[in-house]
Chains A and B, each alone.
Chain A
Amino acid sequence: MRIQSLLPLCLAALVPAHLPAQGVASSNAQPVKALEASGLPWEAVFVDVADDAGLDLVFTYGGRETKDYIIESNGSGVAFLDYDGDSRLDVFLVNGSTLAGSPEADAPTSRLYRNVGDGQFEDATARSGLGRSGWGSAVCAGDYDNDGRLDLFVAYWGRDALYRNLGDGRFSETAPTAGVAGSPDEWSSGCTFVDYDRDGLLDLLVSQYQQFDPGTAPPPGKTSNCEWKGMPVYCGPRGLPFGGVTLYRNLGDGAFEDVSESAGVRDVRDYYAFTAAAADFDGDGWQDIYIACDSTPSILFVNNRDGTFTDYATEAGVAFNEHGFEQGGMGIGVGDFNADGWLDLVKTNFADDYPNLYRSSEGLFFEDICVRAGLASNPRYVGWGVEFVDLDNDGWQDIFQANGHVYPELERQTKIAETYAQSNLVYRNLAGKRFEDVTSLSGEGLRQARSSRGAAFGDFDDDGDLDVVVMNMAEQVSLLRNDLPPGGSWIRLALRGTLSNTAAIGSQVTIEAGGARQTRAVMSQSSYVSHNDLRVHFGLGDALHVDSIRVRWPSGQEEDFPKAAAGATWLLEEGSGEAREVP
């Protein structure tokens, strides 16, 4: 029969499919079945108490039903910080805007909520002067003028803002005079205060996602960079102009100098950069910086100790996944999940991909062990905020991951098995060997399906466990209170620099308790473009005290502190050698 004789001809004529580019990097990763459940109890249960606590902000971030441009999709960061020095954790939420804009009186603004105790917050935005409208993206905190009060930097599409804390509940916008406002057409997407030159002053690194101009950006569905699984969506990031990285050196007189060229960070081009996390990854006493990048290789700026940086992400094994694929990098968590004294990284990525669990060995050599460690079971999520956090106070850093897709259009189609609203995830650390998905055991707060972005971590109710504040696209902020039953042992260390910056950003703290060693870094930004409580929290398991505390200050000095009792916050002042209990 003739027709059948044609079939082999047609099959033979088949040529390898041309693989068109797509807007965002992903790997078509399949879920890797979880290993056998540990059977261990999990007691960290989360309840969303935002309403009761008075955190009433409903975020605005572009269109709710559709998004025409990428500016509407990435959302923003959040912060846990003590801006008024009363030892209670306050909350700052970065807000966005809409393409249509709003009348000035009704324009959505960022919000500052003051913790008034008893789990309650009051809106302190108006008095603070932080209520700017616009397309805010990232937040980082640090005391750039070393006056003992935490200042804020907020990154925008448009001019960035540096808010100097005046100490009376008000902030003064100093970016233009300080020289860190950037240009009006830049889309700044990440920031971190970092004392890269060890002069005791916090410098500032700002990452830019891209040069974005809605006047020239193509409309949805225009090219293969503007579709997701056949669905027309906003374009990008691929095909849109790249962003860059800017480094400002603190001159100590309230002004900063743009040293991007001389420091070598401007040499790194063609990236869509997001979250920036600064820490001493190679243990040489100098601050390095890791930047999660979307659909381009991620960046690891290694400090050359002479005022310059070199990007060694590829060589160190943290630019790509284990197969060399670019990824849609979003958020970064930094911690020592396996308690070997080296800082490891967890990075969230776009959908159809796994997160990266970059285990450090000897400082600058990393291996992505995500699959082996049990973190490859949920590739359908778009991951954003992420952190190593000991949620059950057992002495091992667990992982919290905030999720949410970028295309609200997914909610109205039936052919793609993905949703815009996604639940967040909790993975329990099993003694540094692997992680176990315990989301289903983590309470109603983890059953919420929202399109989340930034997440920050801290103990806002001072009950000895870590809570989470989460940014949700076009929905109310989540305040996930950890209702871990009492009994677990913990300690919190508040660091104050004297030679170093007062907030001690860049410090690394190692404790020994119950025969185990734990290491934490004090950072100005991590998770997804967010800021965590600067006080370092350690779960201690059954230990009733910490046997030893060693701090490596950003000045490079190492200092030992004596034994301290569990269940309290201790102030460690640089050079004092004493741990003082904070009432």
Chain B
Amino acid sequence: MTGGRGRFYSRRAVRALVIAAWLGWLPGIRAQLPSNPATLTDRGLGLAQEGRVAEAADLWQQALKTAPDYFPALFNLGYMHFSAGRLENAKPFLARAAAVSPSDFNAHYLLGATNQKLDRGDEALRAWNRALEVRPDHVQLMQVMAVEYGKGRYHREAADIAMRALRLRPDIEDLHYMAIHACREAGDLDAGLKVAADASTRYPRSARASFEYAWHLQKDGRFAEALPFLRKAIQLDPNYEEPHFFYGDWLVKQARYEEALEPLGKAVALRTDYIPARISMARALMGVKKWKEAVDALEEAVRIEPRHPQPHLLMSQVYFRLRDRPKARAAKELSLRLRRQNPTFLEAVQSRPFPD
């Protein structure tokens, strides 16, 4: 806790106390205080702590009448509304708080969080960027921002901030995976490869790190180099389905269908609801002309996710090969109908730059 009793009425101390009070860390703060903004704010704090939030809000509003730019009252009102889920009410107070105290991390952060909950991702990111200017080393905020940039399809910016977080804290394993994912979404596979290589070196016992490195090596056209890392990932965590799927799917893409069956079978066994693995398995079975088994695999995928168009599409191809054109047509029509009903299953949207 900064400030302390000796600086009780300072803005910073008041803010710290507000925060503490909301968390119940500092019971019993209530005193007879003069009616100036600071006094009103502290009295409000005490009331709030007793659960008398409406009365607290009145006091903070009174404080603002005497000093409209009084930061503690603005922040407290904003935070009160935020905590109660009244986000539209919280936003103007927090925006004013951030404006009157631009060096206050919490105001910018909470304004961003409010906007984020209001589905105003761009405004959230703008507020968080200002928070980062105050606390340029705040790695956790960078993680939140990377996710939010990704949601907005600002993949380049997501990659930039994920990489920034990683540079600050290369000792945190998850930051590597966040950066790898963000770089992949941004289409920067070269950067992703470097991070993955570093992660595999730093975390030699991590199946995930080995797998990510293998994935990037393969995308870099170096499958021979990738294979030992895939095997290592499987060895380190035999229950990790991704390396099995990735290897099997790669074999399918190389038309090595027979070989693909084993790793894909393992992936499906480890994660029964793994639709992409089941689809790839079906393609492998089609490649070796095991039509009935392919239909079985696809029907299982349909059972798990009936809305997905792709299993029906492949089923139409299997039946067409079997010269059962009515069944092929029915599967096709169902696939097309599902595609229109659930476009996100088979839709890739573009990334875009964060607007100025």
Contacts and interface: CB of A to CB of B under 8 A. Distances in A.
Interface string B330-356: 001001100100011011111111010
A26 interface: yes
Contact of B353 (A32, A229, A371): A229
A153 B310 CA distance: 38
Per DSSP, are chain A's interface residues mostly helix, strand or loop, or mixed? loop
Which of the listed residues A10, A17, A322 has the most CB atoms from chain B within 10 Å of its own CB? A10
How large, as a class, is the contact surface on chain A?
A: 35 or more
A41 interface: no
B336 A28 contact: no
A7 B350 contact: no
A326 B350 contact: no
Interface string A258-270: 0000000000000
Contact of A315 (B148, B328, B339): B328
B189 A26 contact: no
A27 B350 CA distance: 8
A42 interface: no
Contacts of B313: 314, 320, 324
Given A326-B346, A371-B253, A315 B332 contact: yes
Nearest to A27: B348
B350 A28 contact: yes
Contacts of B309: 324
B141 A7 contact: yes
B141 A297 contact: no
B151 interface: yes
Contacts of B100: none
B315 to A, nearest CB: 10
How large, as a class, is the contact surface on chain B?
A: 35 or more
A277 B295 CA distance: 32
Nearest to B105: A3
A22 B23 contact: no
Interface stretch (B43-51, B203-211, B296-304, B316-324): B316-324
Contact of A7 (B22, B144, B253, B317): B144
Nearest to A413: B353
B147 A11 contact: yes
B86 interface: no
Contacts of B220: 33
B317 A315 contact: yes
Contacts of A13: 116-117
A28 B140 contact: no
Contacts of A178: none
Interface of B: 19-20, 22-23, 105-106, 109-110, 113, 116-117, 140-141, 143-144, 147-148, 150-153, 187, 189, 219-221, 253-255, 309-310, 313-314, 316-317, 319-321, 325, 328-329, 332, 335-336, 339, 343-344, 346-353, 355
Given A2-B23, A27-B348, A315-B320, 8 more contacts: A3-B106, A10-B144, A14-B151, A227-B352, A229-B353, A230-B353, A324-B313, A415-B353
13 contacts: A2-B23, A3-B105, A4-B140, A7-B143, A10-B113, A13-B116, A19-B343, A30-B219, A229-B352, A315-B320, A324-B313, A324-B314, A416-B353
7 smallest CB-CB distances across A and B, nearest first, come from A230-B352, A33-B221, A415-B353, A315-B320, A229-B352, A324-B310, A28-B348
